[in-house]
Amino acid sequence: MKEQIMTSQVNEPKWWEKTVEYQFVINNHKKFQLIAPLDGKHETGTSDVILGQGDKFILIEFKKDATSQKAEFEKFKKNNKSKSDGTIITELQKLKNFDCHFLVYAKLEQDKELYFLELIHNGYIDYLNPSCQDKKKYSYNEMIEKGKSSEEFLKYLDDLENLRIFDTSDGSCDCGGGGGSDFSNILVLDNKGNCQSLSAFKKIHLTPNPPKNTPSGYKPK
Domain of 110 in residue numbering reads as: 7-202
pLDDT at 202: 63
Q: Is residue 191 part of a domain?
A: yes
User: How far is it, in rounded angstroms, from Cα 60 to Cα 103?
Assistant: 6
Question: H or E stretch including 196?
Answer: strand 195-197
DSSP-assigned letter for residue 162: I
The percent of residues above 70 in pLDDT, for the chain, comes to 79
Q: How many CB atoms lie within 10 A of CB 96?
A: 10
pLDDT at 8: 46
User: How far is it, in rounded angstroms, from Cα 88 to Cα 176?
Assistant: 21
Question: Residue 79 above 90 pLDDT?
Answer: no
pLDDT at 168: 52
Query: In terms of DSSP bridges, do strands 49-53 and 56-62 run parallel, antiparallel, or are they unpaired?
Result: antiparallel
Q: Is residue 145 part of a domain?
A: yes
Task: Give the number of domains in the chain.
Answer: 1
State pTM to two decimals: 0.81
What's 62-102 look like in SS3? ECCCCCCHHHHHHCCCCCCCCCCHHHHHHHHHHCCCHHHEE
User: How far is it, in rounded angstroms, from Cα 101 to Cα 45?
Assistant: 13
pLDDT at 40: 92
| Torsion sign across C-alpha atoms 211, 217, 218, 219 | positive
Mean pLDDT over all residues of the chain?
83
Q: Is residue 30 part of a domain?
A: yes
User: How far is it, in rounded angstroms, from Cα 64 to Cα 66?
Assistant: 7
Q: How many CB atoms lie within 10 A of CB 186?
A: 16
User: How far is it, in rounded angstroms, from Cα 177 to Cα 164?
Assistant: 14
SS3 75: coil
Given pLDDT bands bounded at 50, 70 and 90, which one contains residue 179? low
Nearest to 47 by CA among 214, 202, 183: 183
pLDDT at 112: 82
Q: Is residue 2 part of a domain?
A: no
Question: Residue 212 above 80 pLDDT?
Answer: no
Q: Is residue 19 part of a domain?
A: yes
